[in-house]
């Protein structure tokens, strides 16, 4: 079922890409501008740019948090409640943005606690990340944390449609699908990692100039992966909490 859920979310995005663009265009434009600004300032050797880079990083992180939340709520509601949106959607009154962000922060703290043991492992063995299998280690960690997020993430579509669900309840409800969600997590991480692999191949081939060409590819894959991740939570919530078929 893990692959079937992934394919279903991909089909939802393909069939409703115009709605996805209406939901995300404004926030994705801001994030893209922030990314280019960070890249531009980071390439300058002047130490005076450090403060500018830090400010841009902070603003971009806030935009990502608020914008990602609005995009997620909109997609949850589009799939589960068939809400419609205008072409210039940026924000809609009445959406539980604050509640959603607070749930994200709480979940981030939980993931951070899980991350602490790994930090100690790599701190005691710094050669691990510098070794040949470092990419495999990073991918494995990404899969594990994505899997945890999907297991407890049913709280987010619940918030979007005005329901209440606890993190523990989400983890228990998704227990029968733990293996399937691990497969889904692997597919999500594979999509997110693909542009990075292309970047490594370009550098290894001595074609670092291709990195500029890979920027729009990276943005596209990140955009697709965002909606797929939100979509998986939405589909699983609809199946487990509203008895929708997959």
Quote the CA–CA distance of 208 and 60 in Å, as a whole number: 26
Checking if the pLDDT of 125 tops 70, the result is no
Which residue has better confidence, 97 or 129? 97
DSSP 91: -
Residue 160 makes CB contacts below 8 A (sequence gap 6+) with 72, 73, 76, 77, 80, 95, 96, 100
Quote the CA–CA distance of 77 and 159 in Å, as a whole number: 10
Quote the CA–CA distance of 27 and 63 in Å, as a whole number: 7
Which residue has better confidence, 116 or 139? 139
Does residue 37 sit in helix, strand or coil? helix
Condensed to tens digits (0 to 9), the pLDDT of residues 28-50 reads: 988 888 877 776 666 665 655 66
CA 142 from centre of chain:
11
Tokens of 197: 């692999």
CB atoms within 10 A of CB 85: 13
Condensed to tens digits (0 to 9), the pLDDT of residues 150-209 reads: 999 999 999 999 999 999 999 999 999 999 999 999 999 998 888 777 776 766 666 656
Condensed to tens digits (0 to 9), the pLDDT of residues 79-91 reads: 999 998 877 778 8
pLDDT of residue 246: 82
Which residue has better confidence, 58 or 161? 161
Confidence of residue 22 (pLDDT cuts 50, 70, 90): very high
* Contact yes or no for 80/237 (Cβ under 8 A): yes
Which residue has better confidence, 149 or 118? 149
Quote the CA–CA distance of 74 and 91 in Å, as a whole number: 9
Checking if the pLDDT of 225 tops 70, the result is yes
Mean of the per-residue pLDDT values for the chain? 84
Question: CA-CA-CA-CA torsion for 207, 211, 223, 153, nearest 10 degrees?
Answer: 90
**Mean pLDDT, residues 228-240 taken together:** 96
Percentage above 90 pLDDT, the chain:
50
**H-state helical runs in the chain:** 2-15, 17-42, 49-81, 97-124, 127-130, 134-152, 155-160, 167-173, 178-204, 210-242
Closest CA to 164 of 106, 66, 96, 245: 96
pLDDT of residue 80: 96
Task: Tell me which residue has tokens 């227990």.
Answer: 175
Tokens of 230: 């939100």
DSSP 133: T
């Amino acid at each position: 079922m893990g692959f079937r859920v992934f394919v279903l979310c991909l089909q939802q995005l393909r069939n409703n890409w115009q709605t996805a663009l209406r939901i995300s265009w404004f926030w994705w434009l801001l994030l893209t501008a922030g990314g280019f600004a960070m890249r531009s300032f980071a390439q300058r050797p002047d130490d005076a740019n450090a403060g500018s880079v830090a400010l841009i990083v902070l603003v971009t992180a806030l935009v990502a948090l608020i914008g990602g939340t609005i995009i997620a709520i909109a997609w949850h509601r589009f799939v589960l409640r068939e809400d419609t949106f205008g072409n210039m959607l940026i924000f809609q009154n009445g959406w539980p943005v604050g509640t959603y962000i607070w749930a994200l922060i709480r979940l981030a703290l939980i993931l951070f606690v899980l991350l602490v043991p790994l930090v100690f492992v790599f701190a005691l063995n710094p050669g691990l990340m510098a070794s040949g299998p470092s990419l495999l280690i990073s991918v494995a960690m990404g899969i594990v944390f994505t899997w945890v997020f999907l297991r407890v993430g049913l709280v987010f579509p619940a918030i979007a449609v005005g329901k209440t669900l606890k993190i523990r309840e989400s983890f228990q409800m998704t227990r029968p699908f733990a293996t399937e969600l691990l497969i889904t997590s692997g597919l999500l991480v594979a999509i997110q990692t693909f542009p990075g692999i292309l970047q490594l191949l370009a550098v290894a081939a001595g074609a670092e100039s291709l990195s500029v060409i890979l920027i729009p590819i990276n943005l596209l894959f990140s955009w697709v992966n965002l909606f797929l991740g939100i979509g998986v939570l939405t589909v699983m919530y609809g199946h487990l909490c509203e008895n929708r078929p997959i």
